[in-house]
Structure 1
C-alpha cells in the first residue's frame, strides 16, 4: 500500500486538480470555488477563490506557478494571481457552452481551452486575446494534449474521434474499464490493454520519466502500473470513498495527487512504492548501479567533474558568481569546508568542498573514485526531506558541491529561535528522509541535529553526507583529508567498539535527534 502523505479536505466533491511545476502547491476545484494547498504541509495557502457562477470543471497552473487558469460551466475562463487570489484579467467569454478543460503550453506563452460548444480556443494568457480562430472539434471536447515544443495539439472528442494538428502527444480517453497506451505519432495501441479496474477509468497520468502510469476510476481505486509491461506495481491505492475524478504526478515524480467526488484531495508517496519495486527488481536502484568512472592518474578535477556531468550531474561553473566567494569558509568540518556564495541569478548557495586531491598516489585516486561515486549517489537523491545537490564545480583545486543556502540554519538553531515550532512534524519529516535513504540502501552515517537543515518553507532536510556509506562502497579519505570525528551523543554504542556504520546505527541517531 502506498503511504498517504496528506489528505486535504474540501467542502464538496473535487472536479479537477493541478500541481505546480515545482511540486510545492496543489490546486483543486469544487462547486464554484478553487482552493490551493501546500503539498508538503497540507495547509491551505489560498482560497476559496470565488468568481465563477457555476461549477469549475478544470484548473491549471502556469509553468512559473504565478497564475492559475480555471474553466467553468458558466462558459468562462478566469485567470488568477496565485499569491493574492485576485483575477488578473476580465473573464474570457468566447465559448458558448461549458468550459471543461484548460491547460497551459509548456512555455506558458498560450492557454488552451476545450468546451462543450464543440470548439477549442487558444488564448494569449497575458492579454486574454484569442490567437487564431476556434478549432471545430465536431463534438464535446473530452481531452487535449500539447507537444513539448508547444506547436502541435491533439484533441479527443466524445464522438470517439482524435484530431491531431501537425504532430501531437496524446493519451486517449476510453469509455470502458481498460487503459491503452498508444504511439503518439501513429495512434496505434502498444501492447495489451491494462486491465485491473472494475469501473470506468476517469483519469490517467504518466510519471515524469514515463516509466509508470497512474489511473483513477469510478471504482474508487488508484492503480500504479509499469508502463512497459502493463503489470500492476502494488496493491490498488484505496482511501477515497467515491469515484476518482483526477490523478496527477508532481514534477519530480515522487508524489501523486488524487481528487475525488468524496470532497477530498489526497497526496500519496508513490516514490516509496517505486523504490521498493526497483529494489525488488534488482536493476534500477542506486545501490545496484555499477558506475565505471575511470578515474586515472592523468585526470584533473575538471575532468572528474566532466565525467560526473556525463552521468547526469550538473556542472555549475558557469552559474556560480565567483565574485561572491569569500576568502574564508564560514564553517569547517571533517567533510570539508563550507562557503556561502551566490549564483549569477542571485540565488544563495552553499558550496561544500570535498578534501580529496588529485596526485599520482594510488590510494588518493581510489579515494577520488569513491568520492565521485558518493557525489553521483547524492545527485540522484530526490525527496522533500533530503537536501538536493544542485551541481558541482572545481572550487579552489577541490571538488565543490552546491546546495541551496538555507537561512533557517540547522535544526538546533532553528528550534532555539522558534520555540513554538511543531517538533513532532519536524521529527516525522526527518524519519521520512531517513526511510527514503534506507530504501535505496544508503546509510547516512552522521545523522545529528546540526546535519538537519530547515528550509525556508520550514521543511526538515537531511544534509551533510560526508560519512554516508552505500552497501557497495564509501568515501575513504586519503591522508591529506581530515578524518571524520564521532559525535558521542548521536553515536550508537556498537560504533565505539569498531562496528561499521549501519542502518541500525542511523535509527539510533534518529532517536537521539
Structure 2
C-alpha cells in the first residue's frame, strides 16, 4: 500500500488513466496532480485558478477534463499539461464531469441544477438538461452512450435520454442528498449512494430498487429501554446511531 502525498488541501476527485498506469487527483489546493500508479511518484502538477471538484480522463487517455468552483470546464493535454479549451455556461460550481464512451461528448453536472452536454472537439454546448431545482453532484453515462444518470440534492436518481433531452425515469427511495451514482457495465443496473448512509441497487428498466446496502451504525440494535440516567437528547443521539428502545 502507498500513500501519495503532495496536495495541501481536500482532495475531491481521483481517477485512473484508461491504461491503468497513472492516477489523477484534483484538490481544493487549486491543483491537479498526475501520479505514477506503480511508484507513487508525482509526474506532473497542473495549476488551476480555483478549487478542483471533478476530473475525468478521456477514454483514449489523451485529454483531461476538470471542473470546479470557477464554473468552467477545462480540457488539458495529459501528456504536455497544455490547456486546450475552456467550456463556459454553468452558473454554479461544477461537481461532476463525465466522458461519453466514444470520447466525443462531455457531460457536466452543476449546482445550477443543469446537465450540459458538450462537443469535446469544438467546445460547443449541444444541450442543457434542466434537472428541476436539484444541485447535481454526480453524472454518469450508460455503457451504450445513449442515456445519462444524475444524482444530487433532491435524493433522486434521474435518467435522461441524450437524443431527446427527456427525463425518462426518476428513481426514488433515498432520504437525503446523493453524492454518487454508477452504471453497471452491462447496463441493466445502477448503484447510488448518499447521506442516508445507504447504497441502493436499481434495475434501470423498471426503476425498482433491488437491494439496499447499509453499514451497521455504532449502536445498531442496542436496546436502551432499561437504561437509566439518559436525557431525552442522549437517547435521541443513541437512536440516531442505531439503538432501539423496546420494552
Query: How high is the TM-score relative to the length of structure 1?
Result: 0.36
How far off its partner does 1:11 sit?
2.2
72, 75, 91: which one aligns with 1:76: 72
For 1:58, what is the secondary structure of its paired residue? Answer: strand
**Would you say 1:28 and 2:25 are equivalent positions?**
yes
**Would you say 1:177 and 2:197 are equivalent positions?**
yes
How far off its partner does 1:147 sit?
0.8
**Would you say 1:164 and 2:162 are equivalent positions?**
no
Quote the Cα distance in structure 1 between the aligned partners of 2:23 and 2:108. 20
1:46 corresponds to which residue?
44
Compare the two structures and name the one with the higher helix fraction: 1
Quote the Cα distance in structure 1 between the aligned partners of 2:104 and 2:207. 27
The answer to whether the Cα contact below 8 Å between 1:78 and 1:92 also exists between their aligned partners in 2 is yes
2:206 corresponds to which residue?
186
Quote the Cα distance in structure 2 between the aligned partners of 1:143 and 1:186. 21
1:104 corresponds to which residue?
99
1:93 corresponds to which residue?
88
Distance 1:13 1:150, change over 3 A: same
2:140 corresponds to which residue?
145
Larger radius of gyration: 1
How far off its partner does 1:109 sit?
0.9
**What does 1:346-365 correspond to in 2, within 5 Å?**
none
35, 52, 58: which one aligns with 2:54: 58
How far off its partner does 1:186 sit?
2.5
**What does 1:479-494 correspond to in 2, within 5 Å?**
none
Question: 1:410-455: per-residue Cα shift (whole Å, max 9, x none)?
Answer: xxxxxxxxxxxxxxxxxxxxxxxxxxxxxxxxxxxxxxxxxxxxxx
Query: How high is the TM-score relative to the length of structure 2?
Result: 0.72
Question: 1:442-480: per-residue Cα shift (whole Å, max 9, x none)?
Answer: xxxxxxxxxxxxxxxxxxxxxxxxxxxxxxxxxxxxxxx
Question: 1:37-87: per-residue Cα shift (whole Å, max 9, x none)?
Answer: 01011111111x1132x2110000101111100001111110111111110
The answer to whether the Cα contact below 8 Å between 1:46 and 1:82 also exists between their aligned partners in 2 is no
How far off its partner does 1:173 sit?
3.0
For 1:172, what is the secondary structure of its paired residue? Answer: strand
User: What CA RMSD, in Å, does the superposition of the two structures yield over aligned residues?
Assistant: 1.8
Quote the Cα distance in structure 2 between the aligned partners of 1:93 and 1:191. 39
For 1:131, what is the secondary structure of its paired residue? Answer: strand
The answer to whether the Cα contact below 8 Å between 2:36 and 2:43 also exists between their aligned partners in 1 is yes
The answer to whether the Cα contact below 8 Å between 2:100 and 2:145 also exists between their aligned partners in 1 is yes
Any unmatched runs of 5+ in structure 1?
Answer: 199-513
How far off its partner does 1:129 sit?
0.7
Number of matched residues?
190
How far off its partner does 1:192 sit?
4.1
Distance 1:29 1:197, change over 3 A: farther
Compare the two structures and name the one with the higher strand fraction: 2
How far off its partner does 1:96 sit?
1.0
